[in-house]
Structure 1
């Protein structure tokens, strides 16, 4: 996947990311607005990770770390680019970030009705933790 570029989002990317999520992400969130994403990038400039191919946005993941826990949000891949390793590349970048920061376990909230998302998380090595309705994976440095 040499033509795939993985990088952190900057302020100039935010409108494009919000538009991307409307077509590539399953559902929307209360924080899917310019102010919310600006706060994220201002607080943690490396948290919003983008995948680009030929200069176009094809995937995103938010890799948030609060100093104790690692949280994954908004893993999304453009529908016509799915099943090409983009989500795997994004998750690898997120997990590398977590390990660098000292994180030991990543978790992701996945909508119960999002069967495609559940399959993707399982394929990435995450397992459902029914007690909390999240998917978790222990990370090793």
Structure 2
């Protein structure tokens, strides 16, 4: 897949990333706006990893590292580009980032109802931990 370019996002990518997620990602987040994406990039410039092919955004993953946990969010690939190794390339880039930072384990947020995503994460070597549940509280 030599025509695939993996890079970190910059502030000017925020709108394109949101449009991409609307097409390629399942589910939404309270932070799905330009300010939210820009804040992520400003806080951790290496966290939002993008895959491009011929100038087209075809994949994304957020590889968040807070010094304690390696968290993976928004692994998404354009539907027409799936099953071509893009998600694997994105995960490899995220895992390299985590290892370089001293991370020990990647934790992925995966929607319960998204069976295809669960299968993809399992194929990448991740396993479900049923003894954890996510607890959330919107702030503000």
Q: Provide Cα deviations, 1:43-74, integer angstroms capped at 9, x if missing partner.
A: 00010000000010000000000001100000
Q: Which residue of structure 2 aligns with residue 27 of structure 1? A: 27
- Residues of 2 paired with 1:35 and 1:113: CA distance? 28
CA contact (8 A) 1:110 1:133 kept: no
In the other structure, the counterpart of 2:10 is 10
Matches within 5 A, 1:27-66: 27-66=27-66
Runs of 5+ consecutive residues of structure 1 not aligned to the other structure = 135-141
Post-superposition offset of 1:133: 4.7
| CA distance in 2: counterparts of 1:119 and 1:26, whole angstroms | 15
Shift >4 Å, 4+ stretches: none
Unaligned runs of 5+ in 2: 135-140
Is the CA contact 1:71–1:106 (under 8 Å) kept in the aligned structure 2? yes
TM-score normalised to the size of structure 2? 0.94
In 2, Cα distance between equivalents of 1:32 and 1:109: 16
Find the counterpart in structure 2 of residue 88 from structure 1: 88
Cross-structure match for 1:123:
123
Measured on the aligned residues, the alpha-carbon RMSD in Å equals 0.9
With structure 1 as the length reference, what TM-score do the two structures score?
Answer: 0.93
- Work out whether residues 63 and 71 of structure 1, in 8 Å CA contact, stay in contact via their aligned partners in 2: yes
More strand by share: 1
Number of aligned pairs?
A: 134
Please tell me whether the aligned partners of residues 49 and 90 of structure 1 are also in contact (alpha carbons under 8 angstroms). Answer: yes
CA contact 1:109–1:133 (8 Å) conserved in 2:
no
